[in-house]
Amino acid sequence: MNKLYFKKHILFLSLAVIISAMTAISCSSPKETAIKPIVFPAVSEIQKGESAKLSWQFEGAEKIRIENLRRNYDPIDSLTVKPDATTIYNFLAIRGVDTVLFKWHVFVKMPEDIITTGTVQATDATPSFLQSEYFSGIIDYSANVKPKNFRILSHMIDNDKINLNLLVFDEFGNFIEGLNNNSKFGSDLVATMVDIPSEKITNLDVLSFKKYHYDSKHIDLAVLLDNSAIAGDYYPIFDNFKSFAKGLRNKDRIMFRSFNQKINTSVALQNADKFNNFIRNLGIEKASGFSAVYKSGLSTLQSFASMQSDNKKILVLIAYSTDNASLVYDRNDLVEFAVSRGIPIYVIGIGNAVDTYSLKYLCDNTGGKYYGLDDSQISDLPKVFNEISFSVRKGYELTLAYNEQKNPTENYRNIIISHNTILPRIADTVKIPIAREKQFFRYQAVASFEQRDTVLSRDFDETISTLARVLSESPGRKIELIGNSSIEGNDEESQKLALKRAQEVRRRLIELGADPAMIRIRSEGSSNPIYYLQNSYWAQYYNRRVELRWLDPDYLPFEIISGYRDSEFDALLQVEEWENIGYRSYYDRVLQNNSPVYRVKIWGYKTQQDAEEVASKLAKRYTDFKFEIR
């Protein structure tokens, strides 16, 4: 046997064993009563030097452990803490081998007189000498000031030209003034265009490098904050944003919205001083539900654009995950409206559950910029806002000769800007899409349910009403509702529970006027979790969902399941075999009897009849396979 093949096989088998063991440890069979919080506020705010009393009540737990504290607590108990800085306390609710993680954020607020974040720093023409990845000050160019990097903050195509706005920084994050007066800096800039996927390389002529300065121009800023269930791990974000907002100029205007599957908190567009007075003591709802990024973004832009002003308008979205609840909207709806109104979209993606590709798409197509922050960089949020707002007023404009002729064989173009003489080499890239891409959602959720429950929460009334209206106004459009569960019993029990959830959503849609003939339902039980390690409340919540799938031929919705494999390596081999004989195939991981297996699919059929015809041909040729249409 080939040694490389043998090593790969052993590696994949080992990974499968490890994943299986981890899943078994974290997803043990539940008892009759689920572990869930009855009283658990999850958030406390104190001034520095004060104490916070954490009181809780859990159902179904035998004991509570708090990480780093050496004792057990009762399911109904309390604790007094006095942290010096914002702290997250991890509560482990335990029953036997079952453990569910809950997080309690104690946010320590500093006295008002020592908070100095925001664009106050941006307007002071003083340099910083603390190393920073983001804009931190301003310094005049001299022989001793060496550009360390630059960042393209926005772009705009104008017929046969492309204008790039960029900031040039020294090693401390200071914006370097006066480079436009140094002819050598501009003449040594190099622009290269790479067509994707052909990888054809073209050099672009640099037409000009000049300073732009809008110090007298004010901005209208719309901020949209994801407050879905995942956001519960990132509570200090809102207070970081409030710290930034304190530094905006009084004639700047700002609006704010938080959202999950619907708009929650909403603060109308108003001058910065009034805005800051209004939100000083404003809190936002406890994080919950799903994330309708595109629906909420479109609604916000429509409201934002209707307010007349000479100010430069920008939208900043703070997101933690992919869109999973817009249902009747996709990213192109948001992009097309933003482009029509000339509003760039900036995105700050936080954590490791962010759908980076789809969110960057919003920025690439509207002329904005994407920033990614991991969990350890949350305190950098005011710096990112600071950099965005500063770049609207001041920076350098690089103009390139550009051929905008669309080539149907290309998906997008990367414009790479670099400098010939500065070592180490500095460069940045901007992505220019050639055509809008249709979006294929991993899943879209209509509703979620409490553990072992099939009662439809009123939190999803708006979502279901919107879906019912669209179905009643679009005769002939068919949908499929797919019920799912977390680990809520054995496979048979989970299957029945998930089916009842799909039936409950269908019943509500019909009550609101949807045609029952247009609604199909099925159950996935606990076999298709979004989060496999279901050891947190919100991960289980996301798994107990009813999904929506549009049975639209344009989306090639029908697939053929060709079987299940015990290892990822075997699944990959099966996918490659199907691809080698001309079929489109992929695999995904699912659970059977609470253990992971790999489901191999052949995809890309417009109708069920198309899929059935192919499956019938395959069944005659491959008698060892059992083909199933989904």
Residue 255, domain CATH? 3.40.50.410
**Is residue 7 assigned to a domain?**
no
Angle at 46 between CA 44 and CA 48, to 5 degrees: 145
Domain membership of residue 171 as a residue range: 120-214+395-433
400-411 average pLDDT score: 82
More confident residue, 10 or 423: 423
Instruction: Examine the domain organization and report whether 325 and 457 are in the same domain.
Output: no
How many residues appear in the chain?
Answer: 630
Rounded CA-CA distance 575/22 in Å is 26
More confident residue, 9 or 527: 527
Decide which of 75, 109, 143 is a domain's last residue: 109
**Is residue 21 assigned to a domain?**
no
Q: Are 534 and 540 in contact (CB under 8 A)?
A: yes
Phi, psi (degrees; rounded to nearest 5) at 133: -80, -20
Decide which of 71, 86, 109 is a domain's last residue: 109
**Is residue 1 assigned to a domain?**
no
User: What pLDDT does 278 receive?
Assistant: 87
Instruction: Examine the domain organization and report whether 623 and 475 are in the same domain.
Output: yes
Instruction: Examine the domain organization and report whether 584 and 554 are in the same domain.
Output: yes
Nearest to 526 by CA among 558, 498, 559, 560: 498
> Domain with 553 in it: what CATH number?
3.30.1330.60
User: What pLDDT does 302 receive?
Assistant: 95
**Is residue 233 assigned to a domain?**
yes
Instruction: Examine the domain organization and report whether 405 and 454 are in the same domain.
Output: no
Rounded CA-CA distance 398/191 in Å is 10
User: What pLDDT does 436 receive?
Assistant: 86
Instruction: Examine the domain organization and report whether 407 and 508 are in the same domain.
Output: no
**Is residue 505 assigned to a domain?**
yes
Instruction: Examine the domain organization and report whether 67 and 129 are in the same domain.
Output: no
Instruction: Examine the domain organization and report whether 520 and 617 are in the same domain.
Output: yes
Q: Are 290 and 449 in contact (CB under 8 A)?
A: no
Q: Within 306-380, where are the H helices?
A: 331-341, 356-366
Contacts of 277 (CB under 8 A, 6+ apart): none
DSSP state of 345: E
**pLDDT for residue 122 is more than 80:** no
Nearest to 446 by CA among 504, 528, 378: 504
| Pairing relationship of beta strands 137-140 and 174-177 according to DSSP bridges | parallel
Instruction: Examine the domain organization and report whether 469 and 529 are in the same domain.
Output: yes
Instruction: Examine the domain organization and report whether 229 and 371 are in the same domain.
Output: yes
> Which one-letter amino acid corresponds to residue 622?
Y
Q: How confident is the model at residue 254 (pLDDT cuts 50, 70, 90)?
A: very high
SS3 382: helix
**pLDDT for residue 409 is more than 50:** yes
Instruction: Examine the domain organization and report whether 463 and 376 are in the same domain.
Output: no
Instruction: Examine the domain organization and report whether 152 and 182 are in the same domain.
Output: yes
* Region of poorest pLDDT, from 149-163, 335-349, 401-415: 401-415
**Structural domains in the chain (count):** 4
**Is residue 114 assigned to a domain?**
no
SS3 61: coil
User: What pLDDT does 5 receive?
Assistant: 40
More confident residue, 92 or 592: 92
Decide which of 109, 134, 169 is a domain's last residue: 109
Q: How confident is the model at residue 350 (pLDDT cuts 50, 70, 90)?
A: very high
**Is residue 27 assigned to a domain?**
no
**pLDDT for residue 120 is more than 50:** no
> Domain with 53 in it: what CATH number?
2.60.40.10
What does the pLDDT look like over 583-621, one tens digit per residue?
888 878 888 877 888 888 888 888 889 999 999 999 988
User: What pLDDT does 343 receive?
Assistant: 95
* Region of poorest pLDDT, from 64-73, 231-240, 380-389, 431-440: 231-240
User: What pLDDT does 221 receive?
Assistant: 94
Q: How confident is the model at residue 110 (pLDDT cuts 50, 70, 90)?
A: low
Q: How confident is the model at residue 125 (pLDDT cuts 50, 70, 90)?
A: low
Instruction: Examine the domain organization and report whether 467 and 611 are in the same domain.
Output: yes
274-279 average pLDDT score: 88
- In the block, tokens 């290269």 appear at 192
**Is residue 555 assigned to a domain?**
yes
Beta-bridge partners for 52: 81
More confident residue, 407 or 366: 366
Strand runs labelled E in 110-259: 137-140, 149-158, 161-169, 174-177, 189-196, 201-204, 206-213, 219-226, 253-259
User: What pLDDT does 235 receive?
Assistant: 63
Rounded CA-CA distance 222/306 in Å is 13
What does the pLDDT look like over 410-460, one tens digit per residue?
889 999 999 988 888 899 999 999 888 887 787 899 999 998 899 999 999
